[in-house]
């Protein structure tokens, strides 16, 4: 199967093309080819219309004794699709076209005939001007005169049309310019309105941001003031009575946190007063202790241990702490004397 697609056949070494016999065919032999009608035509026998591009199985032959610059001319034979009459035409290499011979007439030849007539007139004029300079001058004056007449006729036609149409071209141009000016002004106003709206939006947004920043600053300053006023260690030096008195007096205290509640108060009475029993001093005590001597060191120790402000702790709490500590010292001294005895 692959051999039938091979383009180059095998030639043996002893191949001699002169030994191949040649067929003696006539020069005007005909071939059957497939072609399309080169132009529109009409059959002379039945009047059938054959349009351009109609396909035919035509017979082709070479025209004898006719050449154009060494190029052969071919003739084609076709049959009418209705009456089967024979129609012939041949090639025309001089005009790059086809020429009808017999059996039909070519349609729509007006344009081609005009072109041929113009070519003929131009050729005759060139032949006349070739040997007659006066003819050249006459032809030039005729051409210039013809051009002037054509321009005058054209101007007259324009003026006639303007009078009949009654169209004010200047007014139309003025209206168009006015409309264009209004459109530009409207676009400019729209642009200005859009810019003003954008600026207003930006300004409102900035004002809102500044208001929110000021509120945050005020809130942070108030929190800092409250934190400075109410320290976590203030509860160590304050008494419950002070807290109750302040709350009853109408002063609103900050919320007490859970970790502050767990600390408790060091200066309260209920812390150690239930465990200590106060003993009355007697005359048999070896080391009489005066109240003033005992109060002063205790008060000093209490002032050292207190971490809050001295103004926040009342004097009553100091005296109570001193009396409780005095009772503890007296009890310890009695127990020591009993042990020594």
Identify whether 162 is part of a domain: yes
Say how far apart CA 290 and CA 292 lie, in whole Å. 5
pLDDT-based confidence at 55, cuts 50/70/90?
very high
Q: What confidence score (pLDDT) does residue 116 get?
A: 85
Q: What confidence score (pLDDT) does residue 6 get?
A: 78
Q: Count structural domains, the chain.
A: 2
Question: Was 80 annotated as part of a binding site?
Answer: yes
Angle, to 10 degrees, between the axis of helix 291-305 and the axis of helix 315-340?
120
Identify whether 175 is part of a domain: no
Q: Are residues 103 and 35 in the same domain?
A: yes
Say how far apart CA 308 and CA 319 lie, in whole Å. 18
Neighbouring-strand partners of residue 31: 60
Identify whether 229 is part of a domain: no
Residue 16: pLDDT over 90:
yes
Q: Are residues 131 and 67 in the same domain?
A: no
Q: Are residues 161 and 93 in the same domain?
A: no
Say how far apart CA 90 and CA 341 lie, in whole Å. 167
Identify whether 252 is part of a domain: no
Identify whether 2 is part of a domain: no
Say how far apart CA 261 and CA 256 lie, in whole Å. 7
Q: Please write the tens of the pLDDT for every residue from 128-154.
A: 888 888 888 898 999 999 999 999 999
Q: Are residues 54 and 85 in the same domain?
A: yes
Please state which of the ranges 76-80, 130-134, 282-286, 318-322 shows the lowest mean pLDDT.
318-322
Identify whether 59 is part of a domain: yes
Question: Was 228 annotated as part of a binding site?
Answer: no
Last residue of a domain, one of 81, 107, 133: 107
Q: What confidence score (pLDDT) does residue 299 get?
A: 43
Say how far apart CA 190 and CA 62 lie, in whole Å. 81
Q: Please write the tens of the pLDDT for every residue from 238-274.
A: 555 454 444 444 445 556 666 655 545 444 455 555 5
Which residue range(s) make up the domain with 151?
117-166
Residue with tokens 């006459």: 138
Q: Are residues 43 and 100 in the same domain?
A: yes
């Amino acid at each position: 199967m692959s051999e039938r697609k091979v383009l180059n056949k095998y030639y043996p070494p002893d191949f001699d093309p002169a030994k191949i016999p040649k067929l003696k065919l006539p020069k005007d032999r005909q071939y059957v080819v497939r072609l399309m009608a080169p132009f529109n035509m009409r059959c002379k026998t039945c009047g059938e219309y054959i349009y351009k591009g109609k396909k035919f199985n035509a017979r082709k032959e070479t025209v004898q004794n006719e050449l154009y610059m060494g190029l052969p001319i071919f003739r084609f034979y076709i049959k009418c699709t209705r009456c089967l009459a024979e129609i012939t035409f041949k090639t025309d290499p001089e005009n790059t076209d086809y020429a009808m011979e017999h059996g039909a007439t070519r349609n729509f030849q007006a344009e081609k005939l005009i072109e041929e007539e113009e070519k003929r007139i131009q050729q005759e004029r060139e032949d006349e001007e070739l040997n007659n300079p006066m003819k050249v001058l006459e032809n030039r004056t005729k051409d210039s005169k013809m051009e002037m007449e054509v321009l005058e006729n054209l101007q007259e036609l324009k003026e006639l049309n303007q009078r009949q149409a009654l169209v004010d071209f200047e007014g139309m141009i003025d209206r168009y310019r006015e409309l264009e000016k209004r459109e530009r002004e409207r676009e400019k106003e729209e642009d200005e309105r859009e810019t003003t709206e954008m600026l207003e939006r930006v300004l409102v947004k900035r004002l809102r941001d500044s208001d929110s920043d000021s509120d945050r600053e005020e809130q942070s300053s108030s929190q800092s003031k409250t934190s400075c006023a109410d320290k976590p260690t203030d509860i160590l030096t304050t008494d419950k009575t002070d807290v109750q008195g302040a709350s009853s007096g109408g002063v609103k205290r900050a919320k007490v946190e859970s970790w502050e509640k767990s600390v408790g108060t060091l200066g309260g009475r209920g812390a150690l007063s239930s465990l200590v029993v106060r003993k009355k001093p007697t005359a048999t005590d070896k080391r009489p202790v005066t109240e003033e001597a005992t109060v002063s060191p205790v008060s000093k120790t209490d002032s050292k241990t207190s971490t809050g402000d001295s103004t926040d702790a009342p004097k009553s709490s100091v005296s109570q702490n001193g009396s409780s500590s005095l009772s503890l010292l007296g009890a310890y001294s009695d127990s020591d004397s009993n042990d020594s005895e």
